Chains A and B, each alone.
Chain A
Amino acid sequence: MSITATTKARTPLRPARILLHLFLAGAALAWLAPLLWAIYAALRPYSETSEKGYVSWPDTLNFDNFTNAFTQSDMSHYFVNTMIIAVPAVLLTLFLSSMVAFYVSRFDFRLNLALLLVFTAGNLLPQQVIITPLYRLYLLIDLPGITMSGKLYDSALGLVLIHVAFQSGFCAFVLSNYMRTLPHELTEAALVDGASVWRQYWQIVLPLCRPAMAALATLLSIWIYNDFFWALVLISTGENMPVTSALNNLSGAYFTDPNLVAAGALLTAIPTLIVYFVLQRQFVSGLTLGANKG
């Protein structure tokens, strides 16, 4: 292996390189195997697998399980629920955390470090630390006429709020680091011209943060989409569940047909996979923006 370091990189077809490719390709395939297995199971009719066993050649491969899972469990309804929660939550998180980041990074007020510390630490807490009082709080807050349940509990609004509160810590941290790299002259010049603080934020700083905001938006969409826990505890009506948490009920109802459950699980994963493939760069840079700073 020591040859690799001494000879120049990018020269193809040395034995060590071929070996490395073989290893990586094998490992990558092994990594995808659980997913491929799930796809294979989901493509086969239950009657066939129960007769021939799961490790067997297929006679029929079709999308029946997918269409059945989608229609029987009314999955489109749960996808809509997710959108109702995720879209406002992502926008609001970015909006609020960018304001905090702007304040913290542009104005050297005494509190800024403490503020950022509170936000970031809050984001690192396990959700279960706060869930008991949060659950009680949501039951206590009456919102007649505003939410369907008349409370913060069992409402999309409640989920949006906790997502925003929880995720804004991470975003504020990342964005304030990003804003700190912008030259101070930008806002100073604007200040001299008499631009208000709000205009400095909205028209000067925010447009420059577009790359970081895009990365965070991608990351947040996937995280919030994938959330399982908040909805599990804070939503009681099955009908109001976002799709990831509703999956649990689906599996309960169809546990006798693993192929159908596999299809349902894969269907829920599709939106995240699409976002990931289209915006891979954004996602990865979002994830490392925060971590790199450590």
Chain B
Amino acid sequence: MTTETTKEIPEAAAVPPPGAAPAKKVSQGHRRLLTRRDRLTLGLMAGLPTILHIALVWVTALASVALAFTTWDGIGFDSIKWVGLENFKELFSNNPQFWPAVQHNVIWFVVLIVIPTPLGLFLAVQLDKRIRFSRVYQTAFFLPVVMSMAVIGFVWQLIYNPDTGLINSVIGANEPGKYIDWIGDPDLNLWAILVAASWRHTGYMMILYLAGLKGVDPSLREASALDGAGEWQTFKNVIFPTLRPTNTVVLVVTIIEALRAFDLVFVFNKGAQGTELLSILVTNNIIGESSRIGYGSAIAVVLLLISLVVIIPYLVATFRKERRA
């Protein structure tokens, strides 16, 4: 249904205006040459997608903010009650899952940036050496990135399952009394999941860095080699500094991934003790047994604020650079 209706409008406006005035003069601002019909077309072309995007993404994000100051059971609008900061107060001081969740999101980010990111960079540097079979290696490392987090969750359960999993079978911990519960033990499960997340993140980072390395001017490398710099020195002093734009992207992507982490944990153990995340807490307030809309929104607001602190400076910097270019 959507395809037809949205297509209809621009196409109707798209019929070439009969006897469109032959243009007089090309000026840099195209505007002067536009007929009224053209302006309408342009308005629709930009307007329709914008309305859809703003309605479903930004209006809902703002609604999250508004609802965070209320309580609502979801039945009729009359039951919406303004409670001020009550939800946040309860969240910060009275919710045993909130601070662990924040901590786990932070750990998620730190682990991703400290282990798979440098590993991905290392692999990219190796694969960038005009090496034979480079494609084959790349395919192997990148394969997990293509698969859904849900599938990855199931694949790694075959490794972590206490009874039947690979690890416990190999080390003989799959008998009663010797169990190592990689999925249930709150001291272990987050780390077990992070291994799977890192497995995927490495390939992603590798591809981003490979693209960045392709953009490095080869003469830089040659000049450095002529100066007698070793491989490590060349990398440290010449290559890495030129990768700055890539590093920014990598940092932002990694933070966003850490904030978005959800599927893997949900498939693993539904975010039980030890693996709480902000995203899981929000979702539990919708599909869980209790539907506490205002309270769930308060958690979403925390998530939103952290995201915007990252997103806004990044985008402002990006677009400022583009404008200059």
Instruction: Give the contact-size bracket for chain A.
Output: 35 or more
Pick from A58-66, A72-80, A186-194, A208-216 the stretch touching chain B. Answer: A186-194
Cα A293 to Cα B2 in complex, Å, equals 32
Establish whether residues B151 and A268, one from each chain, have CB atoms under 8 Å apart when the complex forms: yes
Residue A178 interfacial (CB < 8 Å) = no
In the bound complex, residues from chain B placing their C-beta under 8 Å from that of A133 are 59-61, 63-64, 67, 297
Q: Residue B319 contacts which of A2, A95, A116, A191 (CB distance < 8 angstroms)?
A: A116
* A55 and B166 alpha carbons, distance in the complex (Å): 7
Asked if B155 and A265 sit within 8 Å, CB to CB, the answer is yes
Provide the residues of chain B in CB contact with A41, threshold 8 Å: 158
B158 touching A258, Cβ below 8 Å: yes
Interface flags for B287-314 (1: CB within 8 Å of A; 0: not) read: 1000001001100100110011001101
Q: Is B114 an interface residue (CB 8 A)?
A: no
Say yes or no for A179: interface residue by CB 8 A criterion.
no
Q: A37-B166, A133-B63 are known contacts. Are A104 and B46 too (CB-CB below 8 A)?
A: yes
Which residues of B in the span 36-92 have a Cβ within 8 Å of any Cβ on A?
37-38, 41-42, 45-46, 48-50, 52-61, 63-64, 67, 74
**Set B30, B38, B48, B52: member contacting A161, Cβ < 8 A:** B52
Q: Is the CB of B166 within 8 A of A31?
A: no
Question: Which residue in chain B gives the minimum CB-CB distance to A191?
Answer: B33
Assuming the contacts A9-B130, A34-B159, A136-B74, asked whether A251 and B154 have C-beta atoms less than 8 A apart, the reply is yes
In the complex, the answer to whether A196 meets B256 with C-beta atoms within 8 Å is no
B151 touching A247, Cβ below 8 Å:
yes
Tell me the smallest distance from the CB of A30 to a CB of chain B, in Å: 9
Q: Does B109 contact A (CB under 8 A)?
A: no
Measured CB to CB, the nearest residue on chain B to A283 is: B146
From A28, A34, A91, A192, B23 is in contact (CB under 8 Å) with A192
Assembled-state Cα–Cα distance A6/B234 (Å): 11
Instruction: Kindly identify, within residues 122 to 138 of chain B, every residue whose CB is under 8 Å from any CB belonging to chain A.
Output: 123, 126-127, 129-133, 136-137
Q: Are B143 and A31 in contact (CB under 8 A)?
A: yes
B190 within 8 A of A: no
Closest to B270 in A: A248
In angstroms, Cα B169 to Cα A27, docked, is 23
Partner of A126, one of B2, B14, B30, B260: B260
- Cβ-neighbour of B42 out of A35, A96, A124, A197 (below 8 A): A197
A-chain residues with CB within 8 Å of residue B123 when the two chains form the complex: 24, 27
Set A37, A97, A272: member contacting B49, Cβ < 8 A: A97
A residues near B202, Cβ cutoff 8 Å:
31
B residues 192-208 near A (Cβ < 8 Å) are 199, 202-203, 207-208
Please state if B169 and A165 are interface contacts (CB–CB under 8 Å).
Answer: no
Contact of A124 among B14, B157, B307 (CB under 8 A): B307
The answer to whether A128 touches B45, judged by C-beta atoms less than 8 angstroms apart, is no
Asked if B287 contacts A232 (CB within 8 A), the reply is yes
| CB < 8 Å neighbour of A226 from B20, B61, B130, B148 | B148
Inside 8 A of B156's CB, which chain A residues have their CB? 34
Q: Whole-angstrom distance from the CB of A69 to the nearest CB of chain B?
A: 11
A165-202 interface with B by 8 A CB criterion: 165-166, 168-169, 172, 177, 187-188, 191-199, 201-202
1/0 per residue, CB under 8 A from B, across A249-264: the answer is: 0010000001001101
Contact of A54 among B164, B278, B322 (CB under 8 A): B164
Give the contacts of A6-32 with B (CB-CB under 8 A).
Answer: 6, 9-10, 12, 17, 20-21, 23-25, 27-29, 31-32
The yes or no answer to A120 lying at the interface (CB within 8 A) is: yes
Give the residue name and chain of the A residue nearest to B49 (CB).
A96
Please tell me if the beta carbons of A134 and B164 are within 8 angstroms of each other in the complex.
no
Taking CB atoms, residues of chain A closer than 8 Å to B232 are: 1-2
State whether A134 touches B158 (Cβ < 8 A).
no
CB-defined contacts of A35 to chain B, threshold 8 Å: 143, 155
Q: Is the CB of B279 within 8 A of A126?
A: yes
Binary interface encoding of chain B residues 244-287 relative to chain A, with 1 for a CB under 8 A from any of its CBs, else 0: 01101100110010011011001100000000001100110111
Contact B283 A233 (CB under 8 A): yes
Interface string of A101-138 (1 = CB under 8 A from B): 01110111100010111111110111111111111110
B278 smallest CB distance to A (angstroms): 7
Residues of A within 8 A of B53 (CB): 118-119, 122, 165, 168-169
Query: What are the residues of chain B within 8 A of A4 when measuring CB–CB?
Result: 129, 231
Contacts of B304 in A (CB 8 A): 125, 129
Chain B residues with Cβ under 8 A from A5's Cβ?
Answer: 221, 224-225, 229-231, 234
Residue contact A99 to B49, C-beta cutoff 8 Å: yes
Q: Is the CB of A130 within 8 A of B52?
A: no
Q: A266 to B133: give the CA distance in the assembly, Å.
A: 26
Residues of B within 8 Å of A107, CB to CB, are 30-31, 42
> Please, which residue of chain B has its CB at the minimum distance from the CB of A281?
B135
**Cβ-based interface call for A148 (8 A):** no
Q: How far does the alpha carbon of A96 sit from the alpha carbon of B49 in the complex, in Å?
A: 6
Count chain B CB atoms within 10 A of each CB in A116, A130, A287 and give the residue with the most: A130
Q: B149, A131: Cβ atoms under 8 Å?
A: no
Residues A121 and B283 in contact in the complex (CB < 8 Å), given A55-B169, A92-B6, A276-B143: no
Seed contacts A104-B46, A125-B61, A127-B279; 15 additional CB < 8 Å A-B pairs: A2-B231, A12-B132, A99-B49, A109-B31, A121-B315, A122-B53, A124-B311, A128-B262, A128-B300, A129-B307, A196-B15, A226-B151, A284-B142, A288-B207, A292-B246
The 4 closest A-B pairs by CB, nearest first: A198-B14, A226-B148, A133-B63, A288-B211
19 contacts between A and B (CB under 8 A): A5-B229, A20-B126, A21-B132, A31-B140, A31-B199, A120-B315, A122-B58, A125-B61, A125-B304, A128-B262, A162-B56, A166-B57, A196-B41, A198-B10, A198-B41, A229-B283, A251-B154, A268-B148, A294-B314
